Structure 1
Amino acid sequence: MASAAAGSWSKRWIRPEVWPLFFATGTAVGICGMQLIRNITGNPEVRVLKEKRAAGVLENHDEGKRYSQHGFRKFIDGRKPEIMENLNSWMADPPK
């Protein structure tokens, strides 16, 4: 009976149509995991160890700025918040 259930599971889920769902879900879980690890290890407001929690509120502005101004934010800083800048400018101000 167990082999019949295993056979139906593989027929249902191991098909080519389902692989994009697996990849999308795996990517989302990976991104969430990376963000969780980044927050636990690098966020100055998160203190896992009891000794660090006893310190209370710290006024460590440099560490907070270093955490918030990461590489991707520095890359997009100062750019227009548009996805297709050329298309948007052409639609807003078409050539005459």
Structure 2
Amino acid sequence: MATTSRWIRPEVFPLFATIGVAVGICGMQLVRNITGNPEVRVTKENRAAGILDNQEEGEKYKEHALRKFVRTKRPEVMPGINGFFSDPR
């Protein structure tokens, strides 16, 4: 009872959420690397192939959807506030 009353409090929920998001991101990246990375070979047949010269597969892995989306954006954290303080009127 003492353990549950110590950890199940409203103050601890943001910590649980933050750790959950971090574990989710790590898990997503792990699955992405195992399933899509051309240098990772899980099956024995693929490992026996050795080093392959597969430039197009590596390029497809590198140029994923998030990278294509971010490429067209300006590198700003808060563009509205930056524009308010830096753009002349």
TM (normalized to structure 2)? Answer: 0.87
Partner of 1:15: 9
Identify unmatched segments of 5+ residues in structure 1: 1-6
2:58 aligns to what SS in structure 1?
helix
Partner of 1:3: none
The answer to whether residue 75 in structure 2 is matched with residue 50 in structure 1 is no
1:55 is displaced (CA, Å) by 1.2
Larger radius of gyration: 1
Alignment of 1:54-65 (within 5 A): 54-65=48-59
1:78 is displaced (CA, Å) by 2.9
Alignment of 1:84-95 (within 5 A): 84-95=78-89
Identify unmatched segments of 5+ residues in structure 2: none
- Misfit runs of 4+, over 6 Å: none
Larger mean Cα displacement after TM superposition, 32-41 or 81-90: 81-90
Aligned pair count? 89
TM (normalized to structure 1)? Answer: 0.82
Q: Percent identity?
A: 58
CA RMSD in angstroms, aligned pairs only: 1.5
1:29 is displaced (CA, Å) by 0.5
Counterpart of 1:76 (choices 63, 66, 70) is 70
